[in-house]
Amino acid sequence: MTEIILDLGPVSSVDEAAFAQAVDRLARWQETRSSLSYKDRDAPGLMIKTVCDVRGTLRKSVIFQRQEWASAFMGFWEAERAAS
């Protein structure tokens, strides 16, 4: 299965409140679009991890199983960052 990885940049530049709101909006969006509950899916809708780049900078990445989910998240993320 292909993974879509979004690099949101250095952790210090990631607005945690906006990030949490974007994840929440994605979860609500997925509920309205999926006939399966989250308990019945075989893979998580997304994974979040903090990675260290070659310069030692911590970066936040979000990993999706579907392009549609990644695109939706980016829309929510950009809207939340603009609002904050």
65: domain CATH number is 3.30.70
pLDDT at 72: 95
pLDDT at 84: 78
Q: What is the pLDDT of residues 22-75, one digit of tens each?
A: 999 998 888 887 665 555 555 567 899 988 889 999 999 999 988 999 999 999
> pTM score, two decimals?
0.80
Q: What is the pLDDT of residues 33-48, one digit of tens each?
A: 766 555 555 556 789 9
Under a CB-based contact definition with an 8 Å cutoff, are residues 17 and 75 in contact?
no
Q: Within 10 A of 70 (CB to CB), how many other CB atoms are there?
A: 19
Domain that holds residue 52: 4-83
Q: Number of structural domains, the chain?
A: 1
Extract the tokens encoding 39: 């308990």
SS3 at position 54: coil
Residues 6+ apart with CB under 8 A from 67: 4
pLDDT at 76: 96
